[in-house]
Amino acid sequence: MQFLPCSFFYRNGKELGAFEYYGGSNVTSAGDVNGSGEVDIIDALLIAQYYVGLNPANFHPENADVNCDGSINIIDALVIAQYYIGLITEFC
C-alpha cells in the first residue's frame, strides 16, 4: 500500500477541521471517516492508518466500523475498498 503525502489532503490550502467546517450532524455517514461527504479510497486509507496507530487527522471513528462487528480494523478498510470499486453497494 502506498501512503499519500499530507498535502494530498489539504490541496486547497485550507485545513478542513471537520467539526468546524462541516459542523453538526451532517458530518456522519457510514464509511466517510474523514467527513469529506463521500466514501472513497481515502477513507479506506485512513482506516488503515488508524488501525496501525497513526491517528490520522479529521478521523471520525463513529463512521469507521462499516461491517458492524464492533471494532475498527483492517477489515473495515477492505470493506470500504470493495465499496469504492463497486463490489458492494452498501454497508451493514
Report whether 35 contacts 22 (CB < 8 A).
Answer: yes
The three cell numbers locating residue 41: 479510497
SS3 call for 6: helix
32 is a site residue for Ca ion (CB under 5 A)? yes
62 is a site residue for Ca ion (CB under 5 A)? no
9 is a site residue for Ca ion (CB under 5 A)? no
Q: Which of 9, 47, 63, 76 binds Ca ion (CB under 5 A)?
A: 76
34 is a site residue for Ca ion (CB under 5 A)? yes
Report whether 35 contacts 16 (CB < 8 A).
Answer: yes
29 is a site residue for Ca ion (CB under 5 A)? no
